[in-house]
A and B are shown apart, each in its own frame.
Chain A
Amino acid sequence: TLRLIYTTTAVQRKNVGASGPEKYTEEFIKKQIEEFNLGKRHLANMMGEDPETFTQEGIDRAIAYLFPSGLFDKRARPIMKHPSEIFPEQRKIQWGEDGRPFHFLFYTGKQSYYSLMHETYEKFLNVQRYQDQLAAQDLPPQKEKKNLAGSRWLTKIELEEMLLEKLSDDDYSRFIQLLQKLMTLPCGDTEEKYIEKFLREVPAQLKKVAIEPLKYDERGVAFSTGEGARKTARATAVVYDNGSGKMTVNGIDILHYFPVLQDREQLLFPFQFLGRVGKHDTVCTVSGGGRSSQAGAIRLASAKALRSFVTEKEVEFMRQAGLLTYDPRVKERKKPGQEGARRKFTWKKR
């Protein structure tokens, strides 16, 4: 038996659009939209606001005021949203009254997937023809290389939602391979617009955490604080400027608190990496955990504190050296039927 430990919310969402033929008719949804708009105007009148400029936030506030609910689950409380958000997008009926399907690829089973593949391949052939034309006349122009790092392809689930059809892993990989092939050729502007539909932006990891500005002491010395944790140890570090490299932990000097060389190496790692070994004074407090996890917690705390003293590029280098990530490794639990987390009981033949 197998069990997945790390999942993202994307995996847990169900793709209702691809599940079957439509459950709501078009007229039903149109009626719902009319009712929603009428209800919006009534609400606006009740709350005393202008019905024309009544936003979704206003609706949420009004509902929370008129129907107060003490339920814990937010999804169980009364909501009033536009029907397109409540009723998931579904495939409309794909055949007419006489039973004849509209799309020419209906009987393949995955009509939107195959039509998409046909379109993409057509673009590919166009680009090749264009290349051949250029080769006949002059040298082909150099394509400006797009930044591949800042964007990613659509995931399988996103593609399924776009097409409203279920796909297999094989289909998805074939489509992505075709797109990649198209990317590698020196292609024209039209193709770029078509490809952009299938690209999603990936923000740089640095921007996700904001760097705090430096704070100033009563004596005028700049300092900054950082917090770190590792296993069960929690540490806070205050790094002062214009220091001589002294480090104090819970009021005790590091030579006495950490008799092992490895721990002291870990404490000095961020400073040594940035080349600022003798320039900062540090005062730390730490509790919990053991000898090594306390050292790791203080290392993370001082690295976080040093971010405010240093340029963005150096922060990026620190992140790539693994100094700024929280270590998620903890002791694995013991399972029933086994002696430890992984060790099984001795196998006895009888």
Chain B
Amino acid sequence: RLTQVRWSRYNPSFIEPEVNKELQQKPWEELSEEEKQKMELKAVQPIKAAPPSLSSSVFSDPMISKFTNMMMKDGNKVLARSLMAQTLETIKRKQLEKYHKAPEEEKEKIECNPYVIFHQALKNCQPVIGLSSITRGGKTYQVPVPLKDNRKRFLAMKWLITECRENKHRRTMMPEKLSQELLQAFNNEGPIIKKKHVLHKMAEANRAYAHYRWW
């Protein structure tokens, strides 16, 4: 009997659950052929249970829950979630301050929705190309490599969190520092955007080794 290192309590035939209320409300005729086939296939396959962080309510966002999990230390989800909530609140407060102080013309341009700011900031932080170390003939070269979507999101979130944990004054709270960084990233300024540009420059500098990549 053989095990792989990565195994799960579910049978491999089980499929990930989909918590999308809009699919439910579409009537049968409006679905395209592909979707109908997908639905029929799904009707025969068993589905895994939804994890506790997933919910169909308006307030749960997969990106935000991923970020909260990455911020979590020692399994303290309560603390991580409260920090996240406080961050979003501080972002909203800062934006509202700016909104009330700004003149009439600029009022429409100020974004007040913290979720939109969060998503946009993450998008701005994502690197397009990364470096991978490849060993050829004894020497290790840093080869520029296109990154997958998951990897980009992970790097953006990781940089945000490490930046907030290390480069701050001892007395500043995490939500304050995080909201500062997020607003800076939203406006394409700040240390994380700088880090992304540095990575892009390194990739450009090592362009000569690009042919070492075989995938």
Contact = CB atoms under 8 A, between A and B. Distances in A.
A272 B9 contact: no
A79 interface: no
B50 A149 contact: no
A319 B42 CA distance: 10
Interface in A294-329: 295-296, 300, 314, 316-317, 319-323, 325-329
B78 A260 contact: yes
Interface in A36-59: none
Interface string B125-166: 000000000000000000000000000000000000000000
B197 to A, nearest CB: 37
A150 B37 CA distance: 11
Contact of A321 (B12, B18, B46, B78): B18
B172 interface: no
Contact of A327 (B4, B49, B78): B49
B81 A262 contact: yes
Contacts of A330: 9
Contact of A328 (B9, B23, B41, B45): B9
A319 B2 contact: no
Interface in A87-101: none
- A-B residue pairs, 3 tightest by C-beta: A322-B17, A322-B50, A2-B2
B85 to A, nearest CB: 8
Nearest to B85: A261
B47 A319 contact: yes
Interface stretch (A16-24, A156-164, A263-271): A263-271
Interface string B170-203: 0000000000000000000000000000000000
A321 B43 contact: no
Contacts of A147: 40
A263 B103 CA distance: 43
A272 B57 contact: yes
Interface residues of B, number: 40
A272 B2 contact: no
A330 B59 CA distance: 28
Interface stretch (A63-71, A202-210, A244-252): A202-210
A333 interface: no
Interface residues of A, number: 42
Contacts of A10: none
B49 A325 contact: yes
Contacts of B12: 6
Contact of A7 (B1, B43, B46, B47): B1
A5 interface: yes
Contact of B37 (A6, A149, A322, A327): A149
B43 A261 contact: no
A2 B81 CA distance: 39
Contacts of A327: 49
A325 B24 CA distance: 19
B3 A2 contact: yes
Nearest to B36: A149
A58 B83 CA distance: 71
Contact of B47 (A5, A204, A261, A322): A322
Nearest to A319: B47
Interface string A183-219: 0000000000000000000111110000000000000
Contacts of B19: 273, 321-322
A321 B52 contact: no
Nearest to A318: B24
A3 interface: yes
B7 interface: yes
Contact of A3 (B1, B24, B48, B78): B1
23 contacts: A2-B2, A2-B4, A3-B3, A4-B1, A149-B40, A149-B44, A204-B43, A265-B57, A266-B55, A268-B57, A272-B55, A273-B56, A319-B47, A321-B17, A321-B56, A322-B17, A322-B47, A322-B50, A323-B17, A323-B50, A325-B46, A328-B9, A328-B10
